Every structure is written in C-alpha cells, then in structure tokens.
C-alpha cells in the first residue's frame, strides 16, 4: 500500500490529507502533528469564529490580497476558489455567511464547527492522525521514498510527504528544510498594528474613521480603509493591510518609521482648501462645532494640533491657520516605534521560497514526491480569510497531486 505522510495537522495539512484520501482511497494517509491538538489555529481563528474564507469570486481581485505569493497562488486558487470552499462545507452540512466587509464565517459563529467537520471527515475517510509527533528530519532515500525522523526510535516511512508545518517565527525553525537543500526566505511577522508610544493621539482610544489613507513616509507603501486609534497606537484594516505590504520594509527599519495619515482622502488638497475657505466666508459657527465627516474628538485633537481654538468662529480663521489645518488633514505625520501583533489574526511572511515549488502540483522541484501546503511557503495574505483560503487551496492541490501521482 502506498503511504503518504503529512507533516502538520493544521488547516493546510488537514485539507491535504482529506483530498489525498478522496483522490486515492487506497493510499495510507497519516498526519503527524507535534502539538497536543489538531487544528489549533483554526480553533482560535477569527476570535473563535473562524473567518474561513472571503466573499470574493474573481481570481484577479482575490490575488490582490496576497502581498507575497500572488503570482504563485494563481494556479492553486484557480483550482480551488472561495466558492469551492463554500460548496465543500455546504456539502458537509455547514453553511457560511458573509459579513459586510466580505469576511465569511460559519453560521454557528464557532470555529469548533469547522474542526468537528474536518475531524469527522478524516475519520470517515480513514486518515490516521498522530499527536505529539514532532518531525525532526525528512530523509529522501536514494531509491525513492522517505524516512521521517521523530523522537520515536523507528522512523516513519513514506512514498510521498506533504510538508504543512505552518509559519515559522524564526529562521532557525526552518533549518530542517534548509538541510534538504531548499532555499528559505527569512520569516518576519505580518499583520500587526503600529505602536505610537506616548503620542497624545492615543488618548483618543476607541475613535475610528471609516476611510483614511495611511502611508509609510519615504516609501511607496500606502493603503486606504478604516482606521482605529487604540491606547497603544493605530489599528484597523488600513493599518493591518499596510503592515502586511510593508512587512519586510518595516522589519528592515526595525519598526521605527513615520506614518502619514490623510484623514479625508476623498478630497484632494485643493478641494479641501476651497471647502474650508467657503466655511470661513459663509459660516458663522464655531469651528469646534463642525467636524464634517470626522469624529468630534478627533476634529478637536486636529484643531489643537493645528494651533486653532475650537471656540473660534470660522471668520476669525486667518489664511495661515487654514493652510495649517489643510496640511494636517492631508498629511498628518506620526513617529511609530514598534509593533503589536494583531490578536485576531497574524501570519508570518517568509518560509520555503516559491521558486522551489511547482505551482501546478505543489511538488518540490528538486525532490520528487515532496509537496508543500499552507503558510510554510513564502505566501501570506492580508486579514479577511485570505490566509485560510490559501491554505485550503494549496492543501487541496498538494493532496490531489500527491495521491494521483502514487496511482
Ligand atoms: C490568532 C490567529 C487567528 C487567525 N485567524 C485567521 C482567520 O480568521 N482567517 C484566516 O484566513 N487566517 C487566520 N489566521 C491565519 C491562519 O491561521 C494561518 O494562515 C493558517 O492556519 C495556516 O495554515 P497552515 O496549515 O499552513 O499552518 P498551521 O495552521 O499553523 O498548522 C501547522 C501545524 O503544523 C504543526 N507543526 C509544525 N512543525 C511541526 C513538526 N516539525 N512536526 C509536526 N508538526 C508540526 C503545528 O503544530 C501546527 O499544528 C489566524 C492566525 C492566528 C495566529
């Protein structure tokens, strides 16, 4: 009987295992998991609700959500889109719902629903599952096949191996893959929030704006979306996306950089100036009483920063005051020092270099019958269910191809 061993019992590993058995029911499929539980990250994902995929059904749009790996993912995602995941779950009695921002969750709002489904499927299909089995080394054999070394006295043997060990926090955790002669990209965190230590804006904690443009000064990195002020700095979708696209640049700067905010990006600077000038000419109101589209607390904070009293009336505003206010609304700069990992979802950028893997099969180019799935690869997405979608798609493809090749 042909044997397939899957290293890592997370999202990518489980999905690969299930697909192996579906494609080749006669193969022996075993998951080796080093932890005490399978699918541990699925359990905590999306704040315990599991943001299982994203309500995006156009490949080109979907790919725009992967700062690293978009080109590589074209093939796996084309074969397994979010709609396929939704259908896969539905066929197993799980319905999912989309939230306004596109994130999709099981109707139960409970990640255990997904875990139970995967565990039931694995049992139904006859996947063998071993916990507390940390793989230390994979040894390709000259005559084909592999020995898989764990702390157990006897190594496991397999005809094919799928590596799905997830994101590694440091380069040393990937040494066992470098030993195989594989190129590895040094990991850095992605999806984090920005620390602005002791900055007075943090007193506005809880204030959010639905649409801001944030950019890293001195780079081309820029994102637009909702922004949230926290007690340690800045968060919200715009910041998280910026952290993902800037993961490597910001790590190089040791997380010490300047972030510029445009608070009303729907207006060009000239439009904003003309608009405020019109207020100056026509409005008899106090400046502090008219916050336009911004939360009042933020508006007062910005007025103070522009040395304008909220008690002034618009006509009292001098041209230089107005210019300062316009500049601040368009380009408000903060010094960021450090990062805070986003509690809901964080990933590592880096891992096995994509040049080592065939995106049509997920097979290693240098070592036949060795496959990869999930975050162990140098692929990561922004927040919103894109990371799981990548794990499902690469796991699905790796499982199918490994099982098919064994015949
Ligand atoms: C708190 C949190 C919440 C998240 N929420 C979401 C979300 O809602 N939506 C989303 O899309 N993404 C989310 N993510 C990201 C998502 O969880 C990962 O991208 C995804 O789990 C990657 O799947 P994977 O199978 O590659 O890795 P993992 O799920 O990390 O699984 C890898 C498994 O391999 C095991 N392993 C590692 N090394 C070995 C070894 N040597 N031998 C044996 N086993 C080994 C690990 O113990 C682990 O169980 C979240 C991440 C975090 C940290």
Ligand 1 pocket check: which of 6, 10, 341 to mutate, most ligand atoms within 8 Å of Cβ?
10
Kindly state if the Cβ of 317 falls inside 6 Å of ligand 1: no
What are the DSSP E strand ranges found in 156-202? 156-158, 160-163, 184-190, 192-195
Q: Per-domain residue ranges for the chain? A: 3-189+345-406, 192-341
Q: Please tell me the pTM assigned to this model.
A: 0.94
Burial of 119 (0-12, 13-18, 19+ CB in 10 A): middle
CATH class of the domain whose range is 3-189+345-406: alpha beta
Provide the token pair at 360.
């049509």
For residue 95, what pLDDT is reported? Answer: 98
Predicted confidence (pLDDT) per residue in 5-34, tens digit? 999 999 999 999 999 999 999 999 999 999
Kindly state if the Cβ of 225 falls inside 6 Å of ligand 1: no
Cβ proximity of 364 and 182 under 8 Å: yes
Predicted confidence (pLDDT) per residue in 27-67, tens digit? 999 999 999 999 999 999 999 999 999 999 999 999 999 99
Kindly state if the Cβ of 13 falls inside 6 Å of ligand 1: yes
3-state class (DSSP) for residue 327: helix
| 238 CA from centroid of ligand 1 (Å) | 23
Kindly state if the Cβ of 150 falls inside 6 Å of ligand 1: no
Predicted confidence (pLDDT) per residue in 105-158, tens digit? 999 999 999 999 999 999 999 999 999 999 999 999 999 999 999 999 999 999
Cβ proximity of 107 and 95 under 8 Å: yes
Kindly state if the Cβ of 226 falls inside 6 Å of ligand 1: no
């Amino acid at each position: 009987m042909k044997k397939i061993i899957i290293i890592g019992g997370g999202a990518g590993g489980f999905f690969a295992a299930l697909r192996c058995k579906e494609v080749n029911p006669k193969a022996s499929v075993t998951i080796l998991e080093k932890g005490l539980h399978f699918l541990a990250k699925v359990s905590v994902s999306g704040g315990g609700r599991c943001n299982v995929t994203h309500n995006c059904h156009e490949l080109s749009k979907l790919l725009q959500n992967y700062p690293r790996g978009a080109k590589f993912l074209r093939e796996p995602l084309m074969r397994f889109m979010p709609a396929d995941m939704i259908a896969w779950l539905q066929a197993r009695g799980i319905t999912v719902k989309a939230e306004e921002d596109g994130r999709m969750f099981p109707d139960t709002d409970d990640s255990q629903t997904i875990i139970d489904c995967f565990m039931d499927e694995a049992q139904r299909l006859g996947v063998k599952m071993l916990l507390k089995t940390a793989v230390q080394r994979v040894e390709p054999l000259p005559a084909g096949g592999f020995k898989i070394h764990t702390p157990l006295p006897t190594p496991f043997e397999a005809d094919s191996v799928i590596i799905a060990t997830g994101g590694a926090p440091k380069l040393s955790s990937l040494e066992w893959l470098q030993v195989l002669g594989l190129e590895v990209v040094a990991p850095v965190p992605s999806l984090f929030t920005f620390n602005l230590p002791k900055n007075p804006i943090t007193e506005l904690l809880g204030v959010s704006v639905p649409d801001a443009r944030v950019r890293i000064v001195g780079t081309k990195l820029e994102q637009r979306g909702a922004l949230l002020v926290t007690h340690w700095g800045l968060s919200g979708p715009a910041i998280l996306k910026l952290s993902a696209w800037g993961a490597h640049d910001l790590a190089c700067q040791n997380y010490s950089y300047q972030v510029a905010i445009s608070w009303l990006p729907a207006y060009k600077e000239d439009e904003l100036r003309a608009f405020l000038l019109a207020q100056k000419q026509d409005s008899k109101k106090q400046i502090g009483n008219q916050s336009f589209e911004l939360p009042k607390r933020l508006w007062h904070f910005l007025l103070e920063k522009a040395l304008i009293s909220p008690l002034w009336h618009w006509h009292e505003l001098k041209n230089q005051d107005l210019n300062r206010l316009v500049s601040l609304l368009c380009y408000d700069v903060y010094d960021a020092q450090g990062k805070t990992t986003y509690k809901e979802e964080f990933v590592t950028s880096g891992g096995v270099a994509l040049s080592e893997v065939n995106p049509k099969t997920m097979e290693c180019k240098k070592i036949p019958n060795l496959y990869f799935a999930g975050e162990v690869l140098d692929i990561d997405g922004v927040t919103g269910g894109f990371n799981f979608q990548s794990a499902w798609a690469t796991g699905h493809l790796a499982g199918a191809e490994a099982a098919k090749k064994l015949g």
